[in-house]
Amino acid sequence: MQIDWRNWFEQGLSYDEFINTYANDTERSRWQSAYERIRLTPEQEELLKGFVRGMNVLVLAATWCGDCVNQGPIYRRFEEANDRIKVRLLERDQVPELRDALKINGGARIPVVVFLSEDFLECARYGERTLAMYRQLAYSQLEAGRPTNIASSGDELLAQATAEWLNEFERIHWMLRLSPRLRKLHGD
């Protein structure tokens, strides 16, 4: 199935519009609390500021979703660090056609991030949790065969998730920066 990414991106809402449209007061407070806890290191900010290609980032999410609460503000911080990064969010249950096209492991999981070039070609999809978050879940939910010494929590877990998401954003940056098609277009 060919997906018209430009159309979906244009239907997406900015971070603030998404929260203001879909979140109730409790959800809005949770998103704000997570946003305030996310701190980019100077090195992370410097890395993000060095991105030279336009990167469109489409996020399938929901304001009630705990994983979205913990990860959505990370994308916002990245967008704030470099105006070449444009993030748009779509509410999962408002776009069933896209929700079904982006299923992970047979389920309508969120958040799902679709990385797009400046001209809306798909570069990659990533979701719904980072490795650090899966490690924490495995540690808390598994008894037999529980992994040890891998779980984090609180701000440490949030910092690890931020670093892991930054790795994905950086990977896409390099994909876009080194693309022969885009290098020809930009003359670099």
The domain locations on the chain are 5-186
pLDDT, tens digit only, all 188 positions of the chain: 689 999 999 999 999 999 999 999 999 999 999 999 999 999 999 999 999 999 999 999 999 999 999 999 999 999 999 999 999 999 999 999 999 999 999 999 999 999 999 999 999 999 889 888 888 888 888 876 565 555 566 788 889 999 999 999 999 999 999 999 999 999 99
Looking at domain 5-186, which of 3.40.30.10, 3.30.70.360, 3.40.50.300, 3.90.25.10 is its CATH number?
3.40.30.10
pLDDT, mean over the chain: 93
DSSP string, the chain: ----HHHHHHH-B-HHHHHHHH--HHHHHHHHHHHHH----HHHHHHHHT--S-EEEEEEE-TT-HHHHHHHHHHHHHHHH-TTEEEEEEEGGG-HHHHHHT-BTTB--S-EEEEEETT--EEEEEES--HHHHHHHHHHH--TT---S----HHHHHHHHHHHHHHHHHHHHHHHHH-HHHHHHHT-
pLDDT at 134: 86
The model's pTM is 0.93
